[in-house]
Structure 1
Amino acid sequence: MALVPAAEAPTKHPLAKGVRQSAKRRLGLKLQNQKEPLTLEVLQTGILLYVPDFQACSLLALSVASMVANMWAGFLRYKDMKYVWVELVKFYPTHMEALLIERKNDQFREGDVVYISRGLDRRTCPVALNEALISRARLSGLVNLYQGWDGRVARFRPQNTQLNGRHIEYPQCRREVHKFLQRTTGMSEAEVQKKWCTQSLRSGGATVAAQKVDFRLFQKHGAWHTASSAHRYILDSTETRLSVTRAMGY
C-alpha cells in the first residue's frame, strides 16, 4: 500500500519473523478456553422442556428451541444463523434447504445452501421447529428467521413476547443459549458458561456426524476450507480412539 517493494515489506523483515516465532513459542498453539461440544441427548432434552407442544408453548420458547436445533444440525456459526431469511428457506417432505446469502468462508460471495433432513421424532426435529416458528410468528418475505425481542417484556410477560423483525444480536443469542442449557442441565450460570458457548452447538453436531459421513460432505456442510479447521470441532470419544489399536487385530 505504501508502494514498498515486496522484498522490503516490513512483515518480511527478519526482526518481524523473529517476534512471531517467539510469540508462538511463548503462547503455544493450543486453543485457549476451548468449550465442549453439545451432545444430542442434552439438545433434545432441552427442546422437549422448552417446547412440549408447538402451539401451547410461548413464541419466545419456540424461537429459542428452533434456533438452537438448527445451529446444531446445520453446523451454523452465529454469523451464519443471522443471515437465514424466511423467503430463502424451502421445505420439502424429506428435508429443508436454507440459502445463506453470506457465509464466513464464502470467498466469492456466491452464497451457500444448507441442507437439513427431517428427524425421526417430529417434536425435536429442526425442520418441524422451523415450520412451527414461521407459522406461529406469521413470518414471510425477506425477513430474518431468527429474530430478537424486547428482553424487558420477555422477563415479565414471556407469553406476550413478540419478535422485533430484526436478526437476534449476539449477546442475546449467547444469553439465551446459556439459559437453555441451565434449564436443561440444572447447572449454575457460571458452570454453563465455563463448559459451553454458542460454538458448542456447531461442534456438537460436527462431533456426532464426523464418524458417520464422508469427510468431504462433512467439510462442505460446515463450510470449512481446510481439514485442519474442521478437525478443531470434533471431539474423539474413547471408543473412537480405541478403534485404531482394535483395527490392528493383536
Structure 2
Amino acid sequence: MGYAGFEVNTSGSIAHGVWSPDEITQSSTWRELIAVYRVLKSIPQVLRFQKVKWFTDNQSVSKIVKKGSMVHDLQSIAIDIYRFCLNNSILIDIEWIPRSENEKADYLSKICDFDDWGISDEILNAVQRKWGNLEVDWFASDNNAKLPVFYSRFWNVNSSGVDAFTEDWSGKFGLFVPPISIVSEVLKKMYTDNVQGVLIIPHWCHKKDIDELPVKLVDKVTLLPQILQHSRAFSTCKNYNSAFNRWIKWAMLNDLGSGDILPASELPLAIYLTSLIQSSFTPKPVETAFYAIKWIHEINGLDPPTDSSMVKNVLQSAKRILSKPVLKKEPITVELLSSIFDNLYVDKNLKSQRTICAFLLSFSGFLRSSELLYKRCDLDFSSTHMKIFIESSKTDQYRDGSWVIIARTGTKLCPVTNIEKYLEWAQFSMDSSCFIFCNLSATKNGYKCRNVNRAMSYSTLRDLFRNALTPFVTDINKYCLHSLRSGGATAAANKGVKDRMFKRHGRWLSEKAKDGYVKDSLDERLFVSRCLGL
C-alpha cells in the first residue's frame, strides 16, 4: 500500500512510494497530504519554476493546502508544502476531482512490487569491510537504499534517478541488489560497461539443480519468483509479504542473524509468535505470521519451520488464549422483508426501490454485500427468471465467475419484478456498464443516479439496512448485512432444498461453511428427539 503521483506532460515523471507500518495507521487525510509533499520532493526537476495544476481525490487535502488546518500534524505538512514550493518557485493550484477521474494515480498508488528486496546493514558493512566503500546503489528505493546515491524504479524523494539501465555504470564502484527477474540483464550490462562492483543475489537452495540445467534454461530460472508470487490471491500475497517483513524486522531488532530468518529456526520463530500473542487481541496476527512464514519458505524450496511441533502448538495456544465466542447474527425472515417492503414501497421512488432491491436480491441470491457491486450488463432477464453474473467472490479462488439464477415469483416480493422497476425508473440501458447500486442525487422530481459511475460504499449500504430494519426489530445490533444471506439460506434449508443445489446457489465450497449460515427451525430440532421412540 503506497502513494503515487505523475506529471502529465513529461514521460516517466512518476513518483511512487510505500507506507511504513506506522504510516499506514495514520488518517487517510494525513497520508494523502504527505503524499502531495513527497511527490513534490520526488520530481522537483520537472516542477521547478512552473505553475502546477494539482489534482487530488481528497477534498480535505485541497482545502488544507489552500487554507491550512487546525490539526497540528496536518498544518505542519501544509507549511512544508508551502516552503518547498516557495524555495523551488512552484506556484501550485490544487483542485479536487472524483476518484473515477483520478484512476491512473489511484492505480499507481496500489502497485505492490513483490520483486523488490534489500539487504541488511549487517551485510552492507561486511561487504564494505571486504571490498571497500561503495558509491552507488543501482537498484533501490527510499525504503531499502543503503547508500546516499541510489537509483529507483520510480522517482523517490531521495533518488538520484530512475531506470538504472539508461545510465553508464563504468567508473563507479556500485552496489547491485536487483530484482531477481532481471539478474541476467544486470550481468550483461555489467559486462558491457566493464563495471567494478558488488552483485548480491539471494541464496537459491536449488543452486546445484540450476548448475545442471542446459544453458538455454538458466535465464528462465529468474521467472520463477515472479510466477510463484501468484500462487495465492493478490491480497493474500500482500498480507503475507507484510507479515514476513514484520518477522524480519523483529528478528533484526533482537540481534538474530540472517541464518535464523530465512530459513527460520523453530525456537526464535516460536518466541516471535509468543510475543505476538502477548500484543494481540485476536488470533489473526499470529495465524497470518504463521502461514506467511510457511508460504515464503515453501516458494523458496525450504523446509518450513512451521512444521515443528513446538511452533504448531504455539499457534494452537494462540487460538485458545485469544479466541472469543462467536456471536452469530440473526437471519432476516420473509415476514421482515414483507414489513420493510410495505413501509418503503412508493411508485417511482428510486431511493426506496434501491433499498428494497438490495434486500430482495441479497436474500434470494444468497449474496454477500460485496457481490451486490455488479453492473447493468451483468444482468440477464427472461420470462421465468433473471441471471446475475458474479465476476468474483470470496470463494471463487480462480476468478472464473458464476451465474446466480433467481426465479420470478409473481408476488409483491418478487426480486425480478422489483429490479426491473428499479432499472426502468433509473433509466439504465440494457448494455450499460454502470453500477446498479450507486449513489443518488435528489432532484425536484425525486431522485436520479449520479453521473459518476461508482458503486455505493459498504457504509452507505449498511446505513440503509439499519434504517430500514430498525422499526421492525427490538435490537438492531442482532442483525447485519450478512443476515440477508443467512436469512435466504435458512429459508431454503427449512423448505428442504436439495443440498447440492443449496451449495451451488450460495457458492459454498464446504459443508461446514454452508451449515454455518443456516439457523434450524424449532420444529426441525424437535423432530430429532420425536423420532427416538420414547
Same fold by TM-score greater than 0.5: yes
Residues 80 and 103 of structure 1 are in contact (CA less than 8 Å); yes or no, is this contact kept in structure 2? yes
In 2, Cα distance between equivalents of 1:72 and 1:158: 33
Q: Deviations over 1:122-163 (max 9, x none)?
A: x2211111000100001121121111235xx5xxx7963332
User: 2:425 matched to 1:131?
Assistant: no
Q: Deviations over 1:91-127 (max 9, x none)?
A: 1121111111112211221111001111241x22111
In 1, Cα distance between equivalents of 2:333 and 2:386: 22
Who is 1:161 aligned against? 447
Who is 1:54 aligned against? 347
- After superposition, the Cα gap between the structure-2 partners of 1:182 and 1:204, relative to the gap in structure 1 and judged at 3 Å, is same
Residues 79 and 104 of structure 1 are in contact (CA less than 8 Å); yes or no, is this contact kept in structure 2? no
- After superposition, the Cα gap between the structure-2 partners of 1:5 and 1:182, relative to the gap in structure 1 and judged at 3 Å, is same
User: 2:17 matched to 1:17?
Assistant: no
Instruction: Find the partner of 1:239 among 514, 519, 523.
Output: 523
In 1, Cα distance between equivalents of 2:415 and 2:380: 13
- Counterpart of 2:306, as a letter, is T
Who is 2:492 aligned against? 209
Q: Aligned-pair distance for 1:49?
A: 1.1
In 2, Cα distance between equivalents of 1:90 and 1:248: 49
In 1, Cα distance between equivalents of 2:393 and 2:503: 14
In 2, Cα distance between equivalents of 1:60 and 1:174: 15
Instruction: Find the partner of 1:67 among 348, 358, 362.
Output: 358
In 2, Cα distance between equivalents of 1:4 and 1:60: 53
Aligned residues: 233
Residues 38 and 205 of structure 1 are in contact (CA less than 8 Å); yes or no, is this contact kept in structure 2? yes
Q: Aligned-pair distance for 1:4?
A: 5.2
Q: Which runs of 5+ in 2 are unaligned?
A: 1-295
Residues 210 and 218 of structure 1 are in contact (CA less than 8 Å); yes or no, is this contact kept in structure 2? yes
Who is 2:461 aligned against? 173
In 1, Cα distance between equivalents of 2:479 and 2:444: 25
Who is 1:41 aligned against? 335
If asked which structure has higher relative contact order (CA below 8 Å, sep 6+), I would say 1
Q: Deviations over 1:151-187 (max 9, x none)?
A: xx5xxx796333233211100011110001013x165
In 2, Cα distance between equivalents of 1:42 and 1:158: 32
In 1, Cα distance between equivalents of 2:508 and 2:524: 22
3-state SS, counterpart of residue 404 of structure 2:
strand
In 1, Cα distance between equivalents of 2:323 and 2:519: 20
Q: Aligned-pair distance for 1:41?
A: 0.3
Q: How does 1:179-218 map to 2 (within 5 A)?
A: 179-183=467-471, 185=472, 187=474, 191-192=475-476, 194-211=477-494, 212-218=496-502
Q: Aligned-pair distance for 1:225?
A: 0.5
Residues 60 and 159 of structure 1 are in contact (CA less than 8 Å); yes or no, is this contact kept in structure 2? no
In 1, Cα distance between equivalents of 2:333 and 2:499: 20
3-state SS, counterpart of residue 166 of structure 1:
coil
In 1, Cα distance between equivalents of 2:473 and 2:440: 25
In 1, Cα distance between equivalents of 2:325 and 2:455: 33
- Counterpart of 1:54, as a letter, is D
RMSD after superposition? 2.1
In 1, Cα distance between equivalents of 2:397 and 2:300: 27
Q: TM-score, normalised by structure 1?
A: 0.85
- Counterpart of 1:204, as a letter, is G
In 2, Cα distance between equivalents of 1:100 and 1:124: 22
Q: Which runs of 5+ in 1 are unaligned?
A: none
Q: Deviations over 1:37-73 (max 9, x none)?
A: 011100111012111x433xx2110111111110011
In 2, Cα distance between equivalents of 1:80 and 1:147: 13
In 1, Cα distance between equivalents of 2:424 and 2:500: 35
Q: TM-score, normalised by structure 2?
A: 0.41
User: 2:381 matched to 1:86?
Assistant: no
Who is 1:77 aligned against? 368
Q: Deviations over 1:182-214 (max 9, x none)?
A: 13x165xxx31x110000000000000013210
In 1, Cα distance between equivalents of 2:328 and 2:473: 22
- Counterpart of 2:493, as a letter, is A
- After superposition, the Cα gap between the structure-2 partners of 1:215 and 1:59, relative to the gap in structure 1 and judged at 3 Å, is same
In 1, Cα distance between equivalents of 2:467 and 2:382: 32
In 2, Cα distance between equivalents of 1:186 and 1:203: 17
Structure with higher Rg: it is 2
Residues 54 and 132 of structure 1 are in contact (CA less than 8 Å); yes or no, is this contact kept in structure 2? no
In 2, Cα distance between equivalents of 1:136 and 1:6: 60
Instruction: Find the partner of 2:507 among 214, 223, 237.
Output: 223
